Every structure is written in structure tokens, then in C-alpha cells.
């Protein structure tokens, strides 16, 4: 039976996100009605992932948080954090959300990115490792030789999964990790393209309700609890100019 998932407590991140966007647009003082004067750039394109982690941005849009501050925020959904980083590097979006390890690895290769705000921290069952109900995989010790889907091969979840299965007695080198966009995780698992996936909401619920996917373990518990997962980034030139 599917256990109830904890309520997500990231709504307060809306305020932080708004502050981040304003920080990237200049230091004007609030004008009448709560608006900010002297904003250098009022229309901002934001690359987001199809995950519940980005829900606060949409809550902020629905609540008029950005409009009240003089900002026109336009989200664009991308498939992977690597795609988001690429769009930032090419100057095709103003702000993006990506996995922290993807960002750090890109920066190490001289990609002009700057982290401007935290987007999400791992909390209990905010990320899940799922298998098919008939997979025969009953524990981490059944993973050697299996195909395991991760969002991309530089994502923070891969780091968490490798650390967690090592702590549970399995050599990560015996597992084949493959890149699958988060939106495709349920179908990849259902059609046996992979034997296990690590994914977020809403795809956990999709997989569980559509074909009874079963949780194998929580990758962000124990030593990986509270792991910083995603951050908001901008292009270094954008940061200097604004």
C-alpha cells in the first residue's frame, strides 16, 4: 500500500524566489503600492523542471507576488537540469533551476553560471526510488546488474543514490545508471526499459497510481538527509549587468 507522502513545506520559498529575482534586477526601493522602482529588467524568463520542487514559483505567480513587485515572470518547462544550464550559458533564459551537482560540474568546465538562491533541500520521501511491483527486486542487494534511471548523469540524485546504496552494502559500480528525463520515468519503468528509477513528485504518484510502482528505499535519508538538491542560477554576464 502506498504510504501517504508528507506535505511539502516549500511555499515560503516563494518569498525567497521573489527576493532572488529582485536581487537579479537591481536595487530599487519600493514605490507606492509595494512595487519596486528602478528595476533594470522587468520581464524574466525562467527555465524550470517538471517537478513539485518548482511549485512555489507557480504559487507566487498565482498569488501575484511577482506582479506586485513589478516583475513579469515567464516560466518555461525543460526536460533536464543539463538543458536548463545550457539555456543559461547561451543566454536564452534569464534564470533557471538545476541540480546542484550539474551546476557545479558545469562551472568547473568554465560554463558562465552563478548560483543566486537555493531552490530545494532533500526532505524525507521528497525523492523516491521505485521499482515495478513484479520486478523481483526486494532490497538494495538485488540491484547489481540492474538498469537504474536517473534524471541525468550529473544530477544530485545520482550522488545521493550512489552514496545510499554504498551505505547499504552494495557497490554502485555494479549498477548501470542511465539518463532518463523525469517526465519519462513512469513509462520507462512500466515498459521495462529500466529496472528502477529515482524520481520526484508528481512522477512518484503517477507511477504508483498507474501501475502500482513500489518504493524500494528513500535515497535522501540517513547520511544524505537534508542534501541540497536544486538551485536558481543566472548567467555570469547577466549577474554583472543587473
Residue 13, C-alpha cell as written in the block: 520559498
What is the pLDDT, as a whole number, of residue 13? 42
What is the pLDDT, as a whole number, of residue 84? 95
Q: Residue 121: name the closest of 160, 168, 81 by CA.
A: 160
The answer to whether the beta carbons of residues 45 and 93 sit under 8 Å apart is yes
- Mean pLDDT across the chain, nearest whole number? 85
b/e for 118-151, b at 16 or more Cβ within 10 A? Answer: bbbbbbebbbbbbbbeebebeebebbeeebbbbb
pLDDT digit string, tens, across residues 119-160: 988 887 778 999 999 999 999 999 999 999 999 898 888 989
What is the pLDDT, as a whole number, of residue 27? 44
Q: 147: Cβ–Cβ under 8 A, 6 or more apart, which residues?
A: 176, 178, 193, 194, 195, 196
Residue 146, C-alpha cell as written in the block: 540492474
Residue 211, C-alpha cell as written in the block: 501501475
Give the pLDDT mean for 86-111.
95
Q: 23: Cβ–Cβ under 8 A, 6 or more apart, which residues?
A: 116, 117
CA atoms of 112 and 189, how far apart (whole Å): 35
Q: 235: Cβ–Cβ under 8 A, 6 or more apart, which residues?
A: 88, 89, 91, 112, 113, 114
- Please give the residue that has the higher pLDDT: either 235 or 34: 235
Give the pLDDT mean for 48-73.
91
Give the pLDDT mean for 96-104.
94
pTM of the entire predicted model: 0.73
Edge-first strand order for the sheet with 43-48 is 72-77, 43-48, 95-99, 228-235, 113-121
Give the pLDDT mean for 111-121.
92
Task: Classify 145 in phi/psi space as left (phi over 0), alpha (psi -120 to 50) or beta.
Answer: left
What is the pLDDT, as a whole number, of residue 121? 85
Q: Where are the alpha helices (DSSP H) in the chain?
A: 13-23, 55-63, 65-68, 81-89, 100-108, 156-167, 185-190, 203-211, 236-241
What is the pLDDT, as a whole number, of residue 25? 47
In the chain, pLDDT over 90 holds for what percent of residues? 66
Total Cβ atoms within 10 A of residue 156:
27
Which of 80-84, 97-101, 190-194 has the highest mean predicted lDDT (pLDDT)? Answer: 190-194
pLDDT digit string, tens, across residues 3-30: 444 433 333 344 345 445 444 444 444 4
What is the pLDDT, as a whole number, of residue 223? 81
H/E stretch holding 234: strand 228-235
Amino acid at each position: 500500500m502506498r504510504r501517504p507522502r508528507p506535505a511539502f513545506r516549500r511555499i515560503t520559498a516563494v518569498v525567497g524566489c521573489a527576493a532572488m529575482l529582485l536581487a537579479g534586477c537591481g536595487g530599487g526601493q519600493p514605490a507606492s503600492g509595494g512595487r519596486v522602482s528602478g528595476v533594470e529588467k522587468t520581464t524574466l524568463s525562467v527555465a524550470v523542471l517538471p517537478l513539485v520542487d518548482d511549485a512555489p514559483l507557480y504559487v507566487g505567480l498565482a498569488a501575484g507576488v511577482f506582479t506586485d513587485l513589478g516583475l513579469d515572470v515567464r516560466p518555461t518547462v525543460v526536460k533536464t537540469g543539463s538543458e536548463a544550464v545550457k539555456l543559461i550559458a547561451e543566454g536564452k533564459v534569464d534564470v533557471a533551476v538545476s541540480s546542484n551537482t550539474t551546476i557545479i560540474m558545469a562551472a568547473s568546465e568554465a560554463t558562465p553560471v552563478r548560483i543566486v538562491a537555493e531552490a530545494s533541500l532533500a526532505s524525507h520521501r521528497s525523492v523516491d526510488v521505485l521499482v515495478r511491483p513484479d520486478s523481483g527486486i526486494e532490497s538494495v542487494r538485488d540491484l547489481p546488474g540492474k538498469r537504474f534511471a536517473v534524471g541525468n548523469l550529473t544530477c544530485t540524485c545520482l550522488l545521493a543514490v550512489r552514496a545510499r546504496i554504498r551505505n547499504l552494502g552494495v557497490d554502485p559500480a555494479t549498477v548501470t545508471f542511465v539518463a532518463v528525463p523525469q517526465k519519462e520515468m513512469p513509462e520507462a519503468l512500466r515498459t521495462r526499459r529500466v529496472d528502477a528509477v529515482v524520481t520526484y513528485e508528481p512522477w512518484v504518484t503517477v507511477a504508483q497510481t498507474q501501475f502500482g510502482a513500489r518504493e524500494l528505499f528513500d535515497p535522501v535519508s540517513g547520511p544524505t538527509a537534508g542534501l541540497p538538491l536544486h538551485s536558481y542560477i543566472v548567467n555570469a554576464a547577466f549577474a554583472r549587468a543587473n
